[in-house]
Structure 1
Amino acid sequence: MQQELSNVKVECVRGDIADQPDMDAVVNSANAQLRSGGGVAGALHAAAGPGLEQESQRHAPIEPGDAVITEAYDLPNDYVIHCLGPVYDDDEPSDSLLASCYREALKLADEKGIGKIAFPSISTGTFGYPVEAAARVAMHTIKRTRSELDNVVLIRFVLHTESDQRIYDDIRKELSL
């Protein structure tokens, strides 16, 4: 399901963030040390190989709401943008920090000339952010940020479950994205 917002399309799919060969960049829902871990970080680091963690270490640590960019190594993409989302109910204000992840990732992508970027559902795994609340923050941030993008033409949300995909897609439609 996709819809055009000005010159930026947004789509929500179910899939594996580490297997998005048609995307220029994928986003890592990272930890502060930018190391491999569980969930999205583990999947991306495993698929990318050791070079990703080695390069990432030059940027660590990062703070909640921050984003940094690295090469993608053995992934089928050009770049990985690492975002540290907030731990829900610990890192406050959670909604502002989560919105910052999306804004900063899109800003880095646009500055690098990246046209297509894939996001996971940042902070909704181990960090405990409720999926619906996270989806609202993500979609509202994209709606506010899209007019500032010169190079990004496709934003894809790659969701792990059918339920998550439905939630993201419903909110996308509700906001006319």
Structure 2
Amino acid sequence: MSNIQFHVGDITKLAVDAIVNAANSSLLGGGGVDGAIHRAAGPRLLEECRTLNGCRTGEAKITGGYNLPAKHVIHTVGPIYSGSKYDAEDLRNCYWNSLEVARNNDLHSIAFPGISTGVYGYPKREAAEIALATVKEWLQKHADYEMEVTIVNFSQADYEVYKGITG
């Protein structure tokens, strides 16, 4: 049976099949979650990312996890928030495509950060609503595929946003 759980803390510490990296389009590291994942995984992650030729907004690509407890990193590029109707579609694609990459690689546990809610400026509540709706829709569509999804909140305040949505 598949489900969604919540965790407050550091995504780089989770022993899951894959953690999702809220990456920039180069996939070569950056700030926030992206930088933390690259630092924790070690230099071989950057070496592998160099072979992927970047990633477009909404797409997802997979690498090894290297020094992380997670076996893999799924890199996705969230939208830089502009208020456009395309922002929501791009953000939805980040979650959907990351789950598809996980399934296509026979992975059964995945942890997501709040994609685009840091320096990319996506309003946290709106992003959380899109994340939860997309994950729930994907789990319903793939009810025959076991997938444990963890939404990782960097802070208690971030967790409260999700708690406010889920009740």
Q: Same fold (TM over 0.5)?
A: yes
Aligned pair partner of 1:64 in 42, 52, 57: 57
| Matched residue, 1:163 | 157
1:86 corresponds in structure 2 to 79
Distance 1:50 1:162 in 2: 31
Question: Match of 1:73, as an amino acid?
Answer: Y
Query: Corresponding residue for 1:95?
Result: 88
Does the 8 A contact of 1:87 with 1:129 survive in 2? yes
Give unmatched runs, 5+ long, in structure 2. Answer: none
Give the corresponding residue for 1:109.
102
Percent identical pairs in the alignment equals 37
SS at match of 2:47: helix
Provide the rounded CA distance (Å) in 2 between the counterparts of 1:146 and 1:170: 21
Instruction: Quote the residue 2:124 is aligned against.
Output: 131
**Which structure 1 residue ranges, 5 or more long, are not aligned?**
1-6
Amino acid at match of 2:38: H
Aligned-pair CA distance for 1:112: 1.0
1:170: Cα distance to partner? Answer: 2.6
Distance 1:102 1:49 in 2: 25
User: In structure 2, what is the Cα distance between the partners aligned to 1:90 and 1:79?
Assistant: 32
Instruction: Give secondary structure in 2 for the equivalent of 1:10.
Output: strand
Give the AA of the match of 1:159: N
TM-score by length of 2: 0.94
Q: How does 1:6-155 map to 2 (within 5 A)?
A: 7-21=1-15, 23-89=16-82, 93-149=86-142, 150-155=144-149
* Bigger proportion of residues as helix: 2
Query: Once superposed, which parts of structure 1, at least 4 consecutive aligned residues long, lie more than 2 Å away?
Result: 147-153
How far residue 152 of structure 1 moved from its aligned partner, in angstroms, is 4.0
Aligned CA RMSD, in angstroms, stands at 1.4
| Corresponding position of 1:4 | none
TM-score by length of 1: 0.89
Q: SS at 2:62's partner residue?
A: strand
Displacement after TM superposition at 1:111 (Å): 1.2
